[in-house]
């Protein structure tokens, strides 16, 4: 609808070549650009002026973002939680908040939820959006008991453009929910079979491979992550970490593979690996059919950043992991 209006308003002033493009043709051109094809290339192929196509892309993104925000506000209930001074985010989530939310999910009052770490505490997103009557008494009770310092309802604004538009956001929400639950189960273990850094690399690799990304394409994803985590000049690379990652990055991370399969040492984490692998597969399908409105490697890189936040990896740890992983692949032979 937004694209149709755009073209009807603009046809009077368009050059002849752009004016002959139908709304459907311009919509296809916009989707091609948002999927990663260079704008000038698409403009030449579709016989549309580059400036007109750039304007159409901007209008399409703005209209889509507004629609997604309105949709998210209706479908998701978001609360910002502040913890008492000195309390652990992980203890609050695993021992106090998550069990209460799970009770609400078991009784059908809510259908899904996930969290993100946000100073001074947490942000929790719950669906459906009309769950205030079920959720707010629980939060009030936790404030009264001292488990929470305060809470407030806030508006959820999904990073729709970063995750590829509405189809990509739906995929992201499903993975966010699964990842949150698996992270909390992991954090409840006193001696997990693998460290969170190492497990994270395997999970992300499972997602990349599920998305059909080859060895050096995976390296490009890690490079994109590293660009959001600049490495200070005084932080030296670790040869030991590079050796560890060189091994981890070449492991078979399939849910039914030698690590996560029934006889594997990490079989307890197979459902977690499966969630990441499936997200990658669905993203690849969306990318291939043109419904993912951003390049798939950029979307995958954004998933890594959100996963690391939930998992609780510190910024220095994220930085050294991303740079080292990118460097290991860039300096390797083809695998």
Closest by alpha carbon to 117, among 187, 57, 193?
187
Residue 335 placed within a domain: no
Q: Are residues 174 and 253 in the same domain?
A: yes
* Cβ-count burial 167-188 (b if 16+ within 10 Å, e if not): bbbebbbbbbbbbbbbbbbbbe
Q: Are residues 87 and 234 in the same domain?
A: no
Last residue of a domain, one of 132, 154, 176: 154
Residue 176 placed within a domain: yes
Q: Write out the two tokens for 53.
A: 């196509």
Q: Write out the two tokens for 76.
A: 């998701």
The sign one gets for the Cα dihedral 25, 31, 32, 34 is positive
Helix (H, G, I), strand (E, B) or coil at 68: helix
Q: Are residues 306 and 183 in the same domain?
A: yes
Residue 160 placed within a domain: no
Domain that holds residue 126: 76-154
Split into its structural domains, the chain has a count of 3
Q: Are residues 17 and 129 in the same domain?
A: no
Question: How far does Cα 174 stand from its chain's mean position?
Answer: 10
Helix (H, G, I), strand (E, B) or coil at 153: strand
Q: Are residues 223 and 134 in the same domain?
A: no
Q: Are residues 214 and 259 in the same domain?
A: yes
Q: Are residues 101 and 196 in the same domain?
A: no
Please enumerate in sequence order all residues whose Cβ is within 8 A of that of 256, keeping only pairs 6 or more positions apart, or say none.
262, 270
Q: What is the pLDDT along the chain (335 residues), one digit of tens a residue?
A: 444 444 444 443 433 344 567 766 777 788 788 767 888 888 888 888 888 788 877 777 666 555 555 444 568 999 999 999 888 999 999 999 999 999 999 999 999 999 999 988 999 999 998 899 999 999 999 999 999 999 999 999 999 999 999 999 999 999 999 999 999 999 999 999 999 999 999 999 999 999 999 999 999 999 999 999 998 877 777 889 999 999 999 999 999 999 999 999 999 999 999 999 999 999 999 999 999 999 999 999 999 999 999 999 999 999 999 999 999 999 875 54
Q: Are the beta carbons of 291 and 242 closer than 8 angstroms?
A: no
Q: Are the beta carbons of 39 and 33 closer than 8 angstroms?
A: yes
Q: Are the beta carbons of 15 and 49 closer than 8 angstroms?
A: yes
Last residue of a domain, one of 39, 72, 105: 72
Q: Are residues 171 and 309 in the same domain?
A: yes
Q: Are residues 222 and 313 in the same domain?
A: yes
Q: What is the CATH number of the domain that holds 124?
A: 3.30.70
Q: Are residues 178 and 145 in the same domain?
A: no
Helix (H, G, I), strand (E, B) or coil at 198: helix
Q: Are the beta carbons of 52 and 141 closer than 8 angstroms?
A: no
Last residue of a domain, one of 72, 101, 117: 72
Q: Looking at 236-314, list the stretches that DSSP marks H as alpha helix, in order from N- to C-terminal side.
A: 239-248, 270-288, 296-311
Q: Are the beta carbons of 79 and 148 closer than 8 angstroms?
A: no
Helix (H, G, I), strand (E, B) or coil at 126: strand
């Amino acid at each position: 609808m937004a694209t149709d209006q755009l073209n009807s308003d603009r046809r009077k002033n368009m050059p002849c070549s752009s004016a002959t493009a139908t709304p459907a043709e311009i919509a296809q051109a916009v989707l091609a650009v948002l999927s990663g094809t260079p704008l000038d290339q698409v403009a030449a192929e579709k016989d549309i002026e580059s400036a007109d196509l750039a304007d159409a892309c901007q209008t399409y993104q703005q209209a889509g973002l507004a629609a997604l925000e309105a949709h998210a506000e209706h479908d998701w209930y978001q609360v910002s939680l502040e913890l008492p001074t000195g309390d652990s985010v992980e203890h609050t989530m695993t021992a106090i908040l998550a069990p209460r939310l799970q009770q609400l999910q078991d009784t059908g009052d809510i259908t899904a939820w996930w969290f993100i770490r946000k100073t001074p505490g947490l942000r929790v997103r719950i669906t459906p959006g009309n769950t205030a009557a079920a959720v707010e008494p629980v939060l009030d009770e936790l404030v009264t008991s001292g488990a929470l310092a305060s809470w407030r309802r806030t508006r959820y604004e999904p990073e729709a453009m970063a995750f590829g538009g509405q189809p990509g956001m739906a995929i992201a929400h499903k993975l966010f929910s699964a990842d949150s639950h698996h992270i909390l189960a992991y954090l409840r273990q006193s001696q997990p079979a693998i460290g969170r850094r190492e497990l994270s690399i395997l999970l992300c690799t499972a997602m990349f491979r599920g998305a059909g990304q080859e060895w050096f394409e995976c390296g490009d994803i890690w490079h994109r992550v590293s660009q959001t985590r600049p490495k200070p000049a005084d932080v030296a690379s670790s040869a030991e970490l590079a050796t560890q990652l060189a091994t981890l990055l070449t492991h078979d991370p399939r849910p039914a593979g030698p690590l996560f399969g029934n006889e594997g040492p990490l079989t307890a984490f197979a459902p977690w690996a499966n969630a990441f692998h499936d997200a990658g597969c669905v993203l690849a399908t969306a990318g291939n059919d043109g419904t993912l409105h951003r390049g798939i490697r950029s979307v995958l890189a954004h998933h890594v950043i959100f996963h690391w936040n939930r998992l609780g990896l510190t910024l220095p740890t994220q930085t050294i992991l991303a740079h080292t992983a990118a460097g290991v692949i860039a300096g390797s032979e083809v695998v």
